Amino acid sequence: MFELTKPQKEIRKAAKDFAKGEFDKELACELEKRCEFPKKIWKKAADLGFIGIHFPEKYSGGQMGMLESVLITEEFCRSDSSIGCAITQASFASECILKFGSEDLKNEFLPKVAEGKIISGAALTETKRGSDYKNINTTAVKSEGEWVINGNKTYVVNGGVAGFYVVLCKTGSDDVPIEKQLTMFAVEADRGGLTTENVGKKLGNNMVATSSMVLKDVTVPDSNMIGKEGKGYAQLNTFQDENRILVAAQALGNALGSYDRMMEYVKGREQFGKKLAEFQVSRHKIADMATKIELSKLILYKTAWSRDQGNLDRKLSSMAKMTASRTAMEVGAQTIQLYGGYGYMMEYEIERYYRDAKVIEIQEGARDVQKDIIADAVIGKIK
């Protein structure tokens, strides 16, 4: 549990070496300014097997586990938070097809994702709904063996660049429990009636396209349904529980990236005849950061390991995500504080790491959402 296997260490080193060779600081700044996806780097990463590493080999994956995915995500985001997040989210929501889709859907989409031929995306959230998925308005109505989808989505991950989307729709009538009303569909980006519009520049994570989506009489065959009708809400919960592990890995990598740059700076920067790292106030901040990073790493690795043993623990996933994202925010803030005015300037990477950390903190449910999930699990039913 506390020692990575030799293959896992090799995967971590391969990810670190790849990032070191491909993630360029100047390129990252330009891509971030232009809100542009790092397409060339993504394709190279796919060629080397870093995308869909947990997919079975028959779908062009590496047939490895969540912990291996965590190690890759951590190293990518440690090297560059923005590029790392963009590449590791290129397969976003394809796990829904992997876990719940038919064999035909898996064969159709998963190899293309793993091989870097298409990006996957998800249209789950709706305006003013936030995490309130039980009250979505997008509908899918069955008609002669097909489904006709109508509705509006917002904050669509990889919107406008994805080859297909996992779309959450209401298919059940109001007289059945809400947990049985929702269904997931795979919707190709070129389906008639589907349009996207980029939401514009964000505070951070600008290499990941985020859009609104309009679905007007979008028709998909019955075979594009992911799993069974009415199972969408349960599938969504499972997907989010699993994806929170990868979001936590992004947060850990982000925190480590800030920490690495901070350590290099305080060991070299001299004031009043002493290195910054020699002042007690700096030393105590460094000690706090190192401790929080280690705690985040331990709970994240345990969560990923547990999932790989067949136990996807919802409580642990939320704990890992909440702890790591909070650590990324706190380490980023303290790093800027130690850098002083330099940390606030865009020519340095520190401010970009801090901005990206805020987005990570919100993804897959903000802190209060995670607290509710954790509280539900530890308190249980009250008699």
Q: SS3 letters for the chain?
A: CCCCCHHHHHHHHHHHHHHHHHCCHHHHHHHHHHCCCCHHHHHHHHHCCCCCCCCCHHHCCCCCCHHHHHHHHHHHHHHCHHHHHHHHCCCCCHHHHHHHCCHHHHHHHHHHHHCCCCCEEEECCCCCCCCCHHHCCCEEEEECCEEEEEEEEEEEECCCCCCEEEEEEECCCCCCCHHHCEEEEEEECCCCCEEEEECCCCCCCCCCCEEEEEEEEEEEEHHHEECCCCCHHHHHHHHHHHHHHHHHHHHHHHHHHHHHHHHHHHHHCEECCEEHHHCHHHHHHHHHHHHHHHHHHHHHHHHHHHHHCCCCCHHHHHHHHHHHHHHHHHHHHHHHHHHCHHHHCCCCCHHHHHHHHHHHHHCCCCHHHHHHHHHHHHHCCCC
Phi, psi of 211 (to 5 degrees): -140, 170
The token pair that represents 233 in the structure block: 């809400």
Is there a catalytic annotation at residue 30?
Answer: no
Nearest to 252 by CA among 39, 41, 85: 85
22, 68, 75, 364: the active-site residue? 364
Give the C-alpha separation, 56 to 123, whole Å: 25
Residues designated catalytic: 364
